[in-house]
Amino acid sequence: MVTSEEKNDPPATTGARTVVVTHRTGLHARPCLAIVNTARKFRSKAQIQSGAKKANAGEILEILCLGAEGGTEVTLTATGPDANEALDALVRLFETNFGFDD
Amino acid sequence: MIQHMELAGGKVVPVEGREGDIQVYLDPTDVERRHLVDTLKIDEHTLSSALDPDELARLEFEPDHLAMILKRPRNYSSEDQFVFKVASAGIFLYSDRLVIVLTEDVPLFQGKLFTKLTTLKDVALRIVYMSIAHFVEHLKVINAVSDSLEQQINTSMQNKYLLNLFSLEKSLVYYLNGINSNAKLIERLKLNAAKIGFSPENIEFIDDAIIENQQCYEQAEIYSNILASMMDARVSIVSNNLNWLMKTLTIITICIMTPTLVVSIFSMNVPFPGTDHPAAFWFILALALSSIGLVRLVWRWKRW
């Protein structure tokens, strides 16, 4: 059964962006939590790929195991009705050093 | 590695090609350690304490400087397997310089906290405060990891998630110890405020740090208690999940075993009545299948 909410949803899209981990110490505990909190704001499923390792951006256990160090290039992908918004927010997070400069 | 910095416009900025008022030593080499001991007159034992993760936080008065050993959360790496550890840091406050000794690269002097700085004492106190804030943020991470692990345990029978929860429990013990140790340091800073020469603003800042550290300690204690009390329940859930799996496997085994028994009986090499009947095969097959139904009825009757 299709709910009224689903009827109004924009079609699911898939996007990908590449960003560099600018934080000197890489994706350690605090940046991981910032990524999870951002990814969970959206309905799309976002993923982060670092080398051969892939992690669900909304799952802290997976991101903590990525082990992406500072300067590493990671690929962000998202699939869902708000994939572009999710990717924009995640890219902004990486570009603003996870908000630690504020 | 040495990073030279100085205070400019209320902020800490890096300086190139000359010595700065603020010097950050990251995992100092033997040569750098000798320089710290011989030139800057830092006590060798105190310097070793600043680099020893097991050392407790403390405050020491030396003839020409103040030595603070501070506890801070260690950077988490993917090899740590959900064990969040603590590290030590040394802050050596002179009248004209501030020397910071760390074991690993930590982004210092970031954020709003490191603005409107006027003296080196301001910088030293903000590093202490930053360490508390760092603990608070790591506690949030531990809480998020704990939530995720609990969700995994609800649907899994693997020991690894339980072991990860034990690791988190161990991490919280390290953190509680570190935060408690920092509390002693901050209290001593306040008690010796006049001797150190802290301004009224500095003392006010120390008061804030005491409150923040106390709240951080209480938060860590609550998380630790919750984790400890929930551990037994989680172990039972894993055990119960395993019981359910065993029950399912047993049902499957019995469902296969009973028709096999029926067919085996009719497979004995002795004459049976009705062996030559044209529907003998279908009769045995029906009997085998109905044995499954019989087992099911007994299962339900016994409420297994």
Decide if B138 and A61 are in contact by the 8 Å CB cutoff. Answer: no
pLDDT of residue A9: 64
Question: Pick the residue with more confidence: B128 or A3?
Answer: B128
The least confident of A22-26, A65-69, B241-245 is A22-26
Domain boundaries, chain B: 2-241, 242-301
Conformational region of residue A51, where left means phi above 0, alpha means psi within -120 to 50, and beta covers everything else: left
Share of chain B above pLDDT 90, in %: 51
Residues of B in contact with A40 (CB under 8 A): none
Cα separation, B142 vs B140, whole angstroms = 5
Cα separation, B288 vs B255, whole angstroms = 10
Q: Are strands B22-26 and B98-102 parallel, antiparallel or unpaired?
A: parallel
Q: Which helix (H) or strand (E) holds B91?
A: strand B86-94
Give this complex's ipTM.
0.80
Architecture of the structural domain at B2-241: 2-Layer Sandwich (3.30)
pLDDT tens digits, one per residue of B142-167:
999 998 988 888 777 777 888 888 88
Q: Please report where in the chains the tokens 């300086």 appear, as a residue.
A: B15
Decide if B141 and A33 are in contact by the 8 Å CB cutoff. Answer: yes
Distance from CA of B207 to the nearest CA of A (A): 24
pLDDT of residue A2: 44
User: Testing the interface with B: which of A33, A35, A48 to mutate, by most B Cβ within 10 A?
Assistant: A33
State yes or no: pLDDT of B297 exceeds 70. Answer: yes
State yes or no: pLDDT of B131 exceeds 90. Answer: yes
Share of chain B above pLDDT 70, in %: 100
Domain boundaries, chain A: 12-99
Decide if A101 and B111 are in contact by the 8 Å CB cutoff. Answer: yes
Residues of A acting as catalytic residues: 28
* pTM higher than the cut 0.95: no
Task: Tell me the average pLDDT of chain B.
Answer: 89
CATH superfamily of A12-99: HPr-like (3.30.1340.10)
State yes or no: pLDDT of B124 exceeds 80. Answer: yes
B149 interface with A at CB cutoff 8 Å: yes
State yes or no: pLDDT of A5 exceeds 90. Answer: no
pLDDT tens digits, one per residue of B252-286:
898 899 999 999 998 888 887 878 888 888 999 99
Cα separation, A47 vs A70, whole angstroms = 19
Conformational region of residue A26, where left means phi above 0, alpha means psi within -120 to 50, and beta covers everything else: left
CA–CA distances in Å: residue B266 to residues B66, B246, B292: 94, 31, 17
Decide if B145 and A64 are in contact by the 8 Å CB cutoff. Answer: yes
Cα separation, B273 vs B8, whole angstroms = 107
Q: Measured between CB atoms, which of A23, A29, A66 is closest to B84?
A: A29
State yes or no: pLDDT of A98 exceeds 50. Answer: yes
